[in-house]
Amino acid sequence: MENNNLHVCRKLIFRQMKTYKKQNLLLVFTILLICMVYTLLFLFQKGEEWAYFFKYQQTFGSESQIVYRNLTEVQAEALLQQENVKKSVRLQPLGRLGGEILEYRQPYLAAVNDAYAKTVFCAPTEGRMPKKAGEIALDTMTLDSLGLPHKLGTEFEVLWTKEGEEVVQEAVFMLCGFWNGQPFQGETYAWITEKTAEGLSPGYRENIQENEILGVDVYQTDKLEEKAVSMAKKAGISEEQVFVNLAYNQVNQEKTEEKLRSYVIFALFAFGVSGGRLDFSELREQNSGDTHKYESRTFCFFFPAGGKRRSIGTFYRDCGCSL
């Protein structure tokens, strides 16, 4: 006949909890504290992972997984028709802003495209996007390079160069919005209205060829570089026009994993040292006349080591009563 002592074990456990209230409260507090520490540690690790990911995206200059540059309209349409494309953003710049003053960091001069602006971190945080003719939105680094104040409504004259040409022209704009520029960003943009763009270069969308930029996200990011090149070949695009986001680069991903591995090692070390300390009672009944003496021992074990949850002096299924 099977020995069923669950009721007795439960009764003894509750009796011990009433006898040693302070010790049990301290134990519960310790377990909650350890769980909190582990949770914060892993959340911190996840946050660091996203921070590295976001930094690589900003350095690359886009959230899009793949960016194709210097495309014709036909090539852009051929890419968009491929089944691997999940979503896309598209832009046709008018030219470059700044002339020789911004020789090493000339923003693309383009008509307002809200969807594209968000993917390249170039949406105004102060003011707004241009809505009227003659308005422009820039980043703060460009404003500083031009010697302009960070003040909405500022009118200024600036040089710009039409795409595919070397002729420098002058234009007058009024600042209607700006955002914080980062020195590690590869490129930036200057937004104007479509009406202003047509006024600077009538018919530029039809007259300027091979200047379209297409940002693409695909359904599966594994072997992304190979997929990007394969999609380019199908659309008749050379590999020189293909740029894969640094956040999805295999080498950068390995570097990030190596940096974050230290957090995992620390977590496992802390988990191994602290172990998940649980109290298992070893009940010893010693008869000394009419007196019954109970002794309580703390049994520490390590979960990773595969320790078995068994109370000393009880059966395996009795352990549930002590949790």
Q: What confidence tens digit (pLDDT) does each residue in 288-306 have?
A: 444 344 344 443 433 443 3
Helix, strand or coil for residue 126? strand
pLDDT per residue as tens digits for the range 163-214 = 878 888 999 999 999 999 888 777 899 999 999 999 999 988 888 888 899 9
pLDDT per residue as tens digits for the range 102-113 = 767 889 999 999
Residues facing residue 311 across a β-bridge: none
pLDDT per residue as tens digits for the range 119-130 = 999 999 999 999
pTM: 0.69
Residues facing residue 96 across a β-bridge: 108, 161
Question: What length is written for the chain?
Answer: 323
Q: What is the DSSP string of 254-266?
A: HHHHHHHHHHHHH
Q: What is the distance of C-alpha 74 from the center of its chain?
A: 33
CA–CA distance, 304 with 107 (Å, rounded to integer) = 55
Smallest Cα–Cα separation from 64: which of 18, 11, 114, 120?
A: 120
Listed by start position, the domains of the chain span: 6-52+255-322, 63-249
Phi, psi of 183 (to 5 degrees): -65, -25
Q: Compute the mean pLDDT over every residue in the chain, rounded to the nearest whole number.
A: 79
pLDDT per residue as tens digits for the range 131-159 = 999 999 999 999 998 999 999 999 999 99
Check residue 212 and report its DSSP letter: E
